Amino acid sequence: MYRRRFVACLAFAIIPMVVSAVSLEAAEPTTVRLNRSVSPPEWALLERQLLATNTAACREFFARYFDERGYLLCVERWGGDDGPDDAIENCNDWPILHALGADDAVLRMYKTAWEGHLRQYTLAKTVEVPFARDGMYYKEFPVTFDWVHNGEGLTVFNLQGLSDPNNIRFGHRVRRFAGFYLNEDPGAPNYDPKHRIIRSLFNGSRGPLMRKATGLDWAGDPIEIANRFSLGHGERSYQEMVDHFKDYNDIVGDHPQNLLATSLALNAYLLTGQAKYHDWLLEYVDAWKQRTIDNKGIIPTNIGLDGTIGGATDGKWYGGVYGWNFSVVVPQTGALAHRNTHYLGHVGFTNAYLLTGNDEYLDVWRQQIKRINAQSKVVDGKRLTPRMYGDKGWYNFTPSPYTSGGLETWYHSMKDSDRSLFPGNGWVAFLDGKNPGYPASALRGDLERVRNRVAGSRADTTTPDTRLADDPMRYNPASVSSLIQLMLGGLHPGHRGQVLHARVRYFDPVARRAGVPEGVAALVESLDDTSVTLTLVNTDQLNSRVVVIQAGGYAEHQFTGLKQGDTSTPLDADSLQVRLAPGAGGRLRLTMKRYTNRPSMRFPWDRD
């Protein structure tokens, strides 16, 4: 049963973390008053500096590469090398940056870019690629393409709800985009409800492409390359662009990367609460869960139009474009490249877990990791683990274990037994109390990244007619990885259109917006299955601040208690409000029940 409650007034003048220095004043059950300030720690000052520096860098980037309409200043093209998805990817991580607390200018800029690129690539048309001759976008969505690219192009949009869920255009699009996969648009019959498949690797607003794909479909129209463009895959001519995709043919049938489409249904459910989105998502993920179980614990990479494993690839569960056996020759070098994208399917299982908290969705990937690692072998004293599977069995053995999805599985389950699924890292060590210098080093690393990106942009000599849509991406300054970990206790969602998974989020009830108020910094210090420990600091020495802490990225969790020093206070709320005196700071341990509420992108004061 989903639960919802918001504690509207839990006031704190928070003091340092020394318990002996805490003095509690008698107050109402939900009110704790503490009266000592704290000198802002290094991590808090670095967080505030990183938010401000990101904002300034994004302003400069936007002024350089976009015009006042939000059009990207580049040569518009269709294709897997460079296309509409790349245009808006230049604003990747800007929605999260704003939702963390960056200036409202960041929100305005990425919304302008989103609107501009929709118009720009609706007007942009192909000459030779058949399905984009009337526009690369139709109904503000890619006409038909694979979810490697569809997901990339939806990264910004799918996170807009973190800051702007009540935007009318956003709401219309959320419903429309999800509807393309619920068969609500007769012109886009992407989904077969009988066999519970998305019918092709190519799908979108004009429906699935039900034939073999060609190099032209992937590469786009002919274009001049020499002395004009520098392509991301290293192609030196248009012919090499086509040759790059010459084996990208077998697209009919379902593929795990289509599970990225579940983020559209999830967003629609987060916004509307309508059961049809919830039900479709679980129906589709459940089908993939069963296929993986039926395939001896390894997710297959082709499901035929009749719903059978390998049904469109001569019965080979590992077949198809981007399948387990998809190894192709790089035309300009002759080297063999292994391009297996089964791992993108993991997103669908974590989306289902967000809705249900059902460990069966995590166990699918948990068991796959164990089964693949069981295929390892020792060669010359080194243990090697495969990444590919073909007619002769497992191949492409590498010296590291298979860990795809391992960190995410542990993060969601919080089971000690899942720690073996991924290698250790600095953030997890910090959460374990073993790496106290991590916050400062991670924040300084992101500050350095911003500086280097800005320096690269300032040295960039391309002009709009020698610039492809993906060229400026290398200079996109938005750097939020450390902030997501440290402020939210969350995982970076990547750039495939995923939602945000976080233990907490923050809101400014005075400015009525997402993110921490000006001057406030937050540090999640530890996580376990039933609690989160975090420190809040008001670096503003002159003004008090009020911040709302939400349980989960979308209020999917429920706070059950608060411990401050030796004092414990029971709670029953998905959000609580904290008042910080000038220069105050302190540690809160919040107990919680995870994945017990219906998740929602609505702000705390807008929820029932």
- For 255-308, the pLDDT digits (tens) are 999 999 999 999 999 999 999 999 999 999 999 999 999 999 999 999 999 999
The mean per-residue pLDDT over the stretch 597-601 comes to 98
Contact 365, 407 (CB under 8 A): no
Looking at residues 185-192, what average pLDDT do you find?
A: 98
| Whole-angstrom distance, CA of residue 557 vs CA of residue 69 | 40
pLDDT of the residue at 6: 53
Residue 200 CB burial class (10 angstroms; 0-12, 13-18, ≥19):
buried
22 has pLDDT over 50: no
* pLDDT at res. 231: 87
pLDDT at 564: 85
DSSP letter, residue 136:
S
For the chain, the average pLDDT equals 93
66 - beta bridge partners? 72
> How confident is residue 5, by pLDDT bands cut at 50, 70 and 90?
low
220: helix, strand or coil: coil
Number of other CB atoms surrounding residue 217 within 10 Å: 27
pLDDT higher than threshold 70 for residue 160 = yes
Per-residue model confidence as pLDDT tens digits over 44-59: 999 999 999 999 999 9
Confidence of residue 7 (pLDDT cuts 50, 70, 90): low
Question: Given pLDDT bands bounded at 50, 70 and 90, which one contains residue 2?
Answer: low
Which residue has better confidence, 16 or 193? 193
pLDDT of residue 490 exceeding 50: yes
The model scores a pTM over 0.75: yes
Place of tokens 């540690």: 587
Query: Can you tell me the distance from the alpha carbon of 360 to that of 136, in angstroms, rounded to the nearest whole number?
Result: 39
Confidence of residue 567 (pLDDT cuts 50, 70, 90): confident
* CA 335 – CA 340 distance, rounded (Å): 16
Largest CA distance in the chain: 77
User: Percentage of the chain surpassing pLDDT 70?
Assistant: 94
**Residue-wise pLDDT tens digits, 437-466:** 999 999 999 999 999 999 999 999 999 999
**Domain segments of the chain as ranges:** 6-36+503-606
CB 544 within 8 A of CB 515: no
Of 479, 480, 495, 472, the closest CA to residue 66 belongs to: 472
Name the helix (H) or strand (E) containing 549: strand 545-551
Query: What is the CA angle 517-590-424, rounded to 5?
Result: 90
Rounded to whole angstroms, the Cα distance separating 138 from 16 reads 55
CATH topology (fold) of 6-36+503-606: Immunoglobulin-like (2.60.40)
Band (pLDDT 50/70/90 cuts) for residue 432 is: very high
